[in-house]
Amino acid sequence: MKGCCILVSSLPNTPDSSALCPLSGKLLLKHELHYPDEQIHQWLNEGAVTHISSIEKTLTGRRCMRCGNTKHYLFAEMPCHACQSTCYYCRNCIQMGRVLACQPLYYGASATSYPEHPEPCEWEGSLSRFQLDAATRITAAMASERERLLVWAVCGAGKTEMLFPGLTQALSQGKRICLATPRTDVVRELLPRMKAAFPGVSLEGLYGDSPDKAGDAQLIIATTHQLYRYAYCFDVVVIDEIDAFPFHADPSLNYAAKRAAKATASFIYLTATPRRKQKWAIAFRQLPVVFVARRFHGYPLPVPQLKMIASLRRQLKAGQLPNVIAQHIASQQQRGTRQLLLFVPTIQLAEMLTDLLAAHYSSITSVHSKDPDREHKIQQFRNREKSLLMTTTILERGVTFPSVDVFVLDAGHDVFDEAALVQMAGRAGRSPDDPCGDVIFYHAGKRNAMVDAVAAIKRMNRIGSTL
């Protein structure tokens, strides 16, 4: 995190008069400041807001001071109208507004203090004995400074609830907290739960087109991309699903998360399927870890069955569904006890199979990332209006349906890595009323990812059974 250090040392000390400045703790572009120019000038004169050069030269190239990008191919030149010359801009964070070299970033020194809430939590549930240990560790990490903790908890362990004691304590100390997750759907799902649990605390949910925009709340729930707009303002940063796309693949999001936190901040990472990088960090004791190997209801994870169909790919390519699968779907639907989540690797396949199955099952619906109607369709499935949901990997994590079976078609496809398979299997059996669920991986030949996923699930069940 070299970038962070450079930025910290170049910041002037600012007086306390900035307590009222609404830009406090933010790092924004000119067009994101919705205040009159005189007001901004006044803040600049007072020192509440500082200019920061947006793209800095480094020894070997450039660095975008908003997203930390240093890759040369993610910078480009354009003839700039504002400065009437050729200007560099950052292509990495361009979807959050273009950072141009000739236009500075506006940094509001974070001096705002937040209220101390003595008893903020109104959640009335209780933690299971499996969750308690992790919750204690999380509380301790949040209470101290510069702590890092990885919570390795199986799918359906109740990660959000485990955070509540820690959040309660941090809020009672007047700390500012950010809960970041790579996925918009997760923000949407978490927001009402957190609002219900902490009704007296100012709370905002931020994502691409969220209704909340200001981002001044004490408890922020946001997609990791939104952290590009913050600097040195959170006392606690919780990153949910650290192994999920795009967080694990984009180093600039990690940069943004670190920059959004104060130097003294604690980091809590949550995951069910750590990547190799985190596993190494655990193995070398670089990253403290706490395991939660049992689901909150105490039952083991459903272990996937592997079913090989040699002609699977050929038949899917020809637009047919293999008979075995069609029969399984038919008998599953006839039983009628559980809903069915059907995972497919590509959007085209999802659309093709939905058309094919719609002839037999009226209560089928499908979602994918390009689907404008997806929120509504997921809600329909949740309300049990539909009994069969065809989906791509967008629903692999972060969503809970009480009673489903999970079928994965072509589990050997490249888009399904070990983490994705474990997550998809983890959709089944999440409710204490129905703790089992069938998970079937249909494949045209075993791949490492499948075998590793089954081994990982069995391992967690083994650890859990000794508790």
The nearest distance, CB 380 to other proteins, in angstroms, is 25
The nearest distance, CB 73 to other proteins, in angstroms, is 5
How far is CA 25 from each of CA 22, 209, 458, rounded to the nearest angstrom? 9, 21, 45
Strands of the sheet containing 339-343, edge to edge, are 305-308, 439-443, 404-408, 339-343, 388-391, 364-367
Closer by beta carbon to other proteins, 45 or else 85: 85
Token pair, residue 467, equals: 């508790």
Query: DSSP string of 303-320?
Result: PPEEEE-TTHHHHHHTT-
Residue tagged 């398979």 (tokens): 421
The nearest distance, CB 316 to other proteins, in angstroms, is 20
Closer by beta carbon to other proteins, 73 or else 284: 73
Closer by beta carbon to other proteins, 124 or else 209: 209
The nearest distance, CB 107 to other proteins, in angstroms, is 22
DSSP 157: S
Closer by beta carbon to other proteins, 95 or else 173: 95
Closer by beta carbon to other proteins, 96 or else 272: 96
Question: Cα dihedral angle (199, 202, 207, 213), rounded to 10 degrees?
Answer: 130
| Cα 80 from chain centre | 35
Residue tagged 């809020």 (tokens): 171
- Rounded to whole angstroms, the maximal C-alpha distance in the chain is 74
The nearest distance, CB 78 to other proteins, in angstroms, is 3
H helix count then E strand count, the chain = 13, 20
Closer by beta carbon to other proteins, 350 or else 450: 350
Range 160-187 burial, b when 16+ CB lie within 10 A, else e: bbbbbbbbbbbbeeebbbbbbbbbbbbb
152, exposed or middle or buried, with CB in 10 Å at 0-12, 13-18, 19+?
Answer: buried
The nearest distance, CB 80 to other proteins, in angstroms, is 6
Q: By three-state DSSP, how is residue 179 classified?
A: strand
Q: Where along the sequence are the contacts to other proteins (CB under 8 A)?
A: 31, 73-74, 76-82, 89, 91, 94-95, 98, 100
The nearest distance, CB 61 to other proteins, in angstroms, is 15
The nearest distance, CB 249 to other proteins, in angstroms, is 11
How far is CA 334 from each of CA 323, 338, 360, 381, rounded to the nearest angstrom? 16, 10, 12, 17
Closer by beta carbon to other proteins, 11 or else 78: 78
Closer by beta carbon to other proteins, 79 or else 211: 79
